Structure 1
């Protein structure tokens, strides 16, 4: 598993700055003001930092952006990274600055001069998140980057505030690794084994095999995987850090480790990207890892349905009718609308067994959500305004784009079937909404629920502020914050 680059927090040592070999990062305020460490760097470089602050280019820099001075005079460093940042920056700007510094530093030894910088822990989170690199299958992969040194005037306080953020970074990295893995490696067996290994950090993990799922009546889920040699599974992860006896909050994830579309096979172009169709399950796993690592004072259960959707002589066909665990029958119109079939059974099981205080499901569910929202926002659908508002507030605070879309009977009517209780698709119009309406049919009347369609944000083709191209880990930070705000006070 990829682990975040280690950060060592140390007391500011002005004498050590000149001797650092590698790269040194320093911060300048919007107006070019310098703190004690910046003044020390300015003296060492014979005024180079002040000249940069006075130059027209500095005024054009946005908060969080960086510029670099190569081989600065008076220092052994190979480069000086200068970040423009207020002494009291916003969370977003602080994380952006950390991410920009990480990009500029690469794998070089890095010294960050934070001094009395407010939101220094958020800078460290940006450093950690942007330092991610998935290179497990590159024969020329470089050795892991050395630990970073983070000098602050009160290092113990900064380190204490950064500790929960380190747990977040590890959860995000876990999600990114899962989403980036190729499907010949991340089979349903391998995925379940990686989740089972989290028992070592305090999660209670249970794996339900196909025989268990058959007894439970999870035939919509089993139907999706019946054309694959990889056995379908449901993995249940429990974190019981809250009050004993309190009902948990539930997270449910779609874990289609590869999606060919089944008999309704997808076009060849871009099918290689369907290794990320387990992104919802990946986020659930990352959140559960974060909760366990930071010892969250909440009761949360994470459930993921792991399947592979393949065309085979035994595969499910368009026109088949399957019966869900709930008891409703579903006419299969398109076998490529498989994620909702997986979630239907897992959602019902989660409510039936755990009676949760609320449920959030995550899935790379529809291409339609990308048409509507692009790669900047996940689609949010909910039957409960309070829960939706709580999530949207958390997502905004963490800088993870999310946009609420409507539900309604007119959309639900599109799912009517001539021969069964419902169809698994409702046509091209409002495809993301009709998919959410399908899922809502498997939510009990009094259960607060959110469906997050993350097809556009789980994996992207270009760098984002906090991640290189590929898997983003979107949702881990927002869900962790929502759980902290809602259940931990």
Structure 2
């Protein structure tokens, strides 16, 4: 695994040479607030001769300090609208300077703040370093790369390494799965990579690989992959993973992850360069897999987490499914195909139907779908994740809680609402089918293009029968990460593993 471990440090002696570290990185909003006098004096002296100090990340020659290197990474942009991501930005700048300067074991110091917005600034800064240091799986395999750093020391008054290392292990897995090209991380290879990563983890892992079983139990998913069945190496897979904590189970979370390993658009083919980056359409399944990895390391008590990852290639060919077809979902709902490029919701609907059945037999269940689902969410919210919840989840405050957690842990959410118009949108107008998957245009130019797919998912999965007034209401929240799954370049930028950190904090309470 390509991971730089975090080690806890609670002794100021670590900043000096001879203590095993070879650089000191200070992430701070105010140089006068530094607790270590040696660092404060050096920074103030340097500021007199270099006015960049305290305004931009700077490397200082620091005799006597670890490695003779002091990196001041100032936290800037703190205004009424800022959040903890300003600490992440500063930490990335600092760790990159340390790496480029030749450090292999830097010590990270994050100055504390009384501002409640920054309660987890230290953890967020450390995780940002992991994000900055990750390298693509293809690069690592082609060049036999190992991490540039051996460890990162984290100066903190309480231990944080167990949580941070577990989170980063899950995030590395999620980045590898999401960011790797479609042959190296085909549906089969994605499933195999998960199985290998979960070995000896204590997770219950099953892979559904039989064609007849997939067609019977996951008919919508199999329709998306119908043409891929002609190519042995492109066959679909469903990975089932379960974590059961020790002790009495008090809540159960069930996740469906969209893993479209390559999305051509199918018969409604993507044109004019629209296929570029479509190997990243598996970010939802990747994030859920990473969450399960993290849970297997932390082993929280009293919680059960069940996940199904739908892995499929939306291939083009003589066997490809087409618009106007009516296909019966696992829940027995007749679905008219409106656009084959709206394939992710088909995959999720079958997964959610299976999870729905398990939820009815579980303690305090709540269901979630995680997917790079729509271009509309990018148009509406840019790089932010959208939450769309049913009435049961809204009554329980699921989205509001997730939004609060995400704001504190540098994975912000925007909350959208389901409206009657969204259900009208997916009603089949001539009655031949129970529901229509989508209109025939791109979501990005469709009004409410990221909200109404949640209405489809409720209908096609059978979850709509578990409404507030039903005998067994079920909470369901759809999480659209199309804008947040990568950073920088939307096509080939570094995968973020979002919203793994927020989901972990939500899960363990």
Structure 1 length as normaliser, TM-score?
0.85
**Offset at 1:245?**
5.8
CA drift of 1:128 comes to 2.7
| Aligned residue number for residue 480 of structure 1 | 504
Matched, 1:137 2:139: yes
Shift of 1:254: 0.7
* C-alpha distance in structure 2 between counterparts of 1:439 and 1:395, whole Å: 24
1:402 paired residue number: 413
* Structure 1 residue 328 displacement after superposition: 1.0
Structure 1 residue 305 displacement after superposition: 0.9
Counterpart of 1:452? 479
Look up the match of 1:211: 212
Q: Give 1:246 shift.
A: 5.2
How far is 1:31 from its partner? 5.1
Correspondence for 1:267? 271
- 1:232 is displaced (CA, Å) by 2.0
Q: What secondary structure, in the 3-state scheme, does the structure 1 residue paired with 2:306 have?
A: strand
Deviates more, 1:400-409 or 1:274-283: 400-409
Gaps of 5+ in 2: 77-82, 114-120, 441-445, 468-472
* Inter-CA distance 102–270: structure 2 relative to 1 (3 Å threshold): farther
Given the alignment, which residue of 484, 488, 494 partners 1:461? 488
What's the CA shift for 1:459? 1.9
User: Residue 81 of structure 1 corresponds to which residue in structure 2?
Assistant: 71
CA distance in 2, matches of 1:335, 1:281: 20
Instruction: State the Cα deviation string for residues 412-461 of structure 1 (Å, max 9, x = none).
Output: 11222222112110353322222121112122331111101111111233
Matched, 1:373 2:373: no
Match of 1:148 in 2: 151
CA-CA distance at 1:479 after TM superposition: 0.5
Q: In 1, distance between residues paired with 2:347 and 2:3?
A: 32
For the Cα contact (< 8 Å) 1:251–1:301, is it kept in 2?
A: yes
Task: Answer with 359-368 or 102-111: which moved more.
Answer: 102-111
Partners of 1:17 and 1:41 within 8 A in 2: no
Tell me how far apart the structure 1 counterparts of residues 18 and 29 of structure 2 sit (CA, whole Å): 22
Q: How many angstroms apart in 1 are the aligned matches of 2:425 and 2:288?
A: 30
Give the drift of 1:93: 5.2
Q: Deviations over 1:202-254 (max 9, x none)?
A: 110111233323343x2111111011122222211100015446562101111
Provide the C-alpha distance between the structure 1 equivalents of 2:221 and 2:108, rounded to a whole number of angstroms: 52
Which residue of 2 is the match for residue 391 of structure 1?
402
Q: How many residues align?
A: 462
CA contact (8 A) 2:124 2:410 kept: no
Deviation at 1:121, TM superposition (A): 4.8
Query: CA shift at 1:12, angstroms?
Result: 3.5
Partner of 1:382: 389
**Could you tell which deviates more after superposition, 91-100 or 304-313?**
91-100
Whether 1:100 aligns to 2:99 is no
TM-score, with length taken from structure 2: 0.82
Q: Give yes or no for the alignment of 1:196 onto 2:195.
A: yes
C-alpha distance 164-432 of structure 1, shift in aligned 2 (>3 A): same
Larger mean Cα displacement after TM superposition, 360-369 or 115-124: 115-124
2:23–2:65 Cα contact (<8 Å) kept: no
Contact 1:27–1:113 (Cα < 8 Å) also in 2? yes
Is the counterpart of residue 112 in structure 1 residue 130 in structure 2?
A: no
Q: Equivalent of 2:368, from 360, 380, 383?
A: 360
Taking the aligned partners of 1:434 and 1:354, their CA distance within structure 2 comes to: 23
Q: Does 1:431 align with 2:444?
A: no
> Which string of whole-angstrom CA distances, capped at 9 and with x for unpartnered residues, describes residues 299-337 of structure 1?
111111111100111111122111011111111121111
In 2, are the aligned partners of 1:460 and 1:470 still within 8 Å (CA)?
yes
CA RMSD between the two structures: 3.1
Q: Which residue of 1 aligns with 2:314?
A: 309
Alpha-carbon distance change, 34 to 55 in structure 1, aligned in 2, over 3 angstroms: farther
Q: 1:116 to 1:450 in 2, by over 3 A?
A: closer
In structure 2, distance between residues paired with 1:142 and 1:274: 26
Q: CA deviation at 1:145?
A: 1.4
- The correspondence for 2:245, drawn from 238, 241, 248, is 241
Distance 1:408-1:41 versus aligned 2 partners, 3 A rule: closer
Greater Cα shift, 287-296 or 101-110? 101-110
C-alpha distance in 2 between matches for 1:247 and 1:72: 52
Aligned mates of 1:221, 1:337 — CA distance in 2:
12
Q: Specify whether residues 379 and 187 from structure 1 end up closer, same or farther in structure 2 by C-alpha distance, changes over 3 A only.
A: same
Is 2:334 aligned against 1:339? no
Whole-angstrom distance in 2 between the partners of 1:15 and 1:260 = 53
For the residue of structure 2 that corresponds to 1:177, the secondary structure is: helix
Residue 76 to residue 448, structure 1, CA distance change in 2 (3 Å):
closer
1:234 counterpart SS class: strand
Q: 1:460 to 1:271 in 2, by over 3 A?
A: farther
Corresponding position of 1:12: 12
Partners of 1:420 and 1:127 in 2: how far apart? 50
Name which of structure 1's ranges 268-277 and 475-484 shifts more when overlaid on structure 2.
268-277
- Answer whether contact 1:241 1:296 (CA < 8 A) is retained: yes
8 Å CA contact 2:374–2:482 kept in 1: the answer is yes
